């Protein structure tokens, strides 16, 4: 069964209307609704609730989907790599600038 991706995707590799370069091939499962969206803007536009970030205690959860192979990876695995651990697809390194939209920052107290 294919994983459902919410938001305005532009192709079957999870690129969206906001981020659609060759390396924009991940979708994030949002903690608040457990739905995959390509980006925080897609969630903001479509969801009927504010986004919640994943606390560090939950970073072992599979919450990142590779749009190329459709494999899930844990948050920890995603944050530690620049390519999919399942298929080696290159991931957008610039996404690191947006991790605070999805995951508790290292400077926030544990929750």
Residues 6+ away with beta carbon under 8 Å from 65:
3, 5, 14, 26, 27, 28, 29, 36, 71, 72, 73
- For 85-106, what is the mean pLDDT? 90
Taking only the tens place, the pLDDT of each residue in 46-90 is: 999 999 999 999 999 999 999 999 999 999 999 999 999 999 999
Q: Does the pTM exceed 0.85?
A: yes
Domain borders along the chain are: 1-111
């Amino acid at each position: 069964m294919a994983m459902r991706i919410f938001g305005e995707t532009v192709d079957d590799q999870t690129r969206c209307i906001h981020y659609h370069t060759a390396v924009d091939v991940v979708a994030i499962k949002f903690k608040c609704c457990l739905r995959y969206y390509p980006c925080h803007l897609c969630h903001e536009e479509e969801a009927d609730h504010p986004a919640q970030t994943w606390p560090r205690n939950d970073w072992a959860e599979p919450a990142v989907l590779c749009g190329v192979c459709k494999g899930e990876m844990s948050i920890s695995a995603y944050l530690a790599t620049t390519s999919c651990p399942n298929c080696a697809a290159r991931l957008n390194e610039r996404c690191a600038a947006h991790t605070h939209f999805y995951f508790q920052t290292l400077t926030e107290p544990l929750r």
